[in-house]
Chains A and B, each alone.
Chain A
Amino acid sequence: MRVFTYLVVASFVALLVYASLGLPGRGEVDAPLHREESIAGTPVAATFYTRKAFSDAATPNFVTVILADYRGFDTLGETLVVLTAGIACLLILGRAP
């Protein structure tokens, strides 16, 4: 079992070193993530946010706009994650009256 775990960790390292060499370098400005348009011609979300967030929501902090508006559903889920943890702690530790 222990050997198996060593094997898992070792293959994890090998995979990730192999993969990281293909990633865009640190700070590269035209990484796929930062482009205007994806390879298929659809708009890349992140650039859209940078361009439009201020005019769309009159809020300078782009991160806030993405968090609460563009991807508001994620944030609802996020709030529910915290709440789930809260209720779960009560469920696990709570005392029967």
Chain B
Amino acid sequence: MGASRSVIVVLVSRLVAPLIQIFSFYVIFHGHYSPGGGFQGGALLAASILLLRLTCGREESQKNFRSDLGLMLGPLGAMTFLVVGLIMISGGSFLDYQHTPLLRLEPAQMRSFAILIVEVAIGLAVMATLISIFDNLSAPSRKEDSS
């Protein structure tokens, strides 16, 4: 997929992408207090990278996010979620945040903290996976490659 030929489009999208990323961090981390959270923030993060993929071209935007990272960070994020759940088994049941080991806070605070970790893990997984889906969908086929 080629880059956009217009300089303005390229420049503006390069300018906007970091802003989208900052906003997406806000969405993830402010999810405790306002609408938002891992899925929404992750989708926004993916959008910022996809914007660069669309305007700067597939090869050029590899600098921002390598395509082969997609299917590494995705499972990693989901794995983090799973492990966060599993470490609670020592005290309570799966995903029972009030039994977070090594953390001495009152239960409500502990839950709040664990929710944040989980949301970040979800954000990571969603971002990486959505980018990976886009990369796979937009990858040229073998036939187009050779011609």
Contact = CB atoms under 8 A, between A and B. Distances in A.
Chain A in direct contact with chain B (Cβ < 8 angstroms) = yes
A79 B32 contact: no
Given A60-B32, A72-B95, A89-B132, A55 B74 contact: no
A92 B133 CA distance: 11
A83 to B, nearest CB: 5
B interface: dominant SS: helix
Contact of A64 (B78, B115, B121): B115
Interface string B65-101: 0000011001101100110010000000011010000
Interface stretch (B3-11, B51-59, B136-144): B136-144
Interface string B24-65: 000000011111110100000000000000000000000000
Interface magnitude class on chain A:
20 to 34
B31 A61 contact: yes
A8 B128 CA distance: 40
Contacts of B136: 89-90, 92-94
Given A64-B31, A64-B115, A95-B142, A83 B108 contact: no
A33 interface: no
Contacts of B31: 61, 64
B35 A76 contact: no
Interface in B100-147: 107-109, 111-112, 114-115, 118-119, 121-122, 125-126, 128-130, 132-133, 136-137, 139, 142
Contacts of B112: 57-59
Interface of A: 55-61, 63-65, 67-69, 72-73, 75-76, 78-80, 82-83, 85-87, 89-90, 92-95
Interface of B: 31-37, 39, 70-71, 74-75, 77-78, 81-82, 85, 94-95, 97, 107-109, 111-112, 114-115, 118-119, 121-122, 125-126, 128-130, 132-133, 136-137, 139, 142
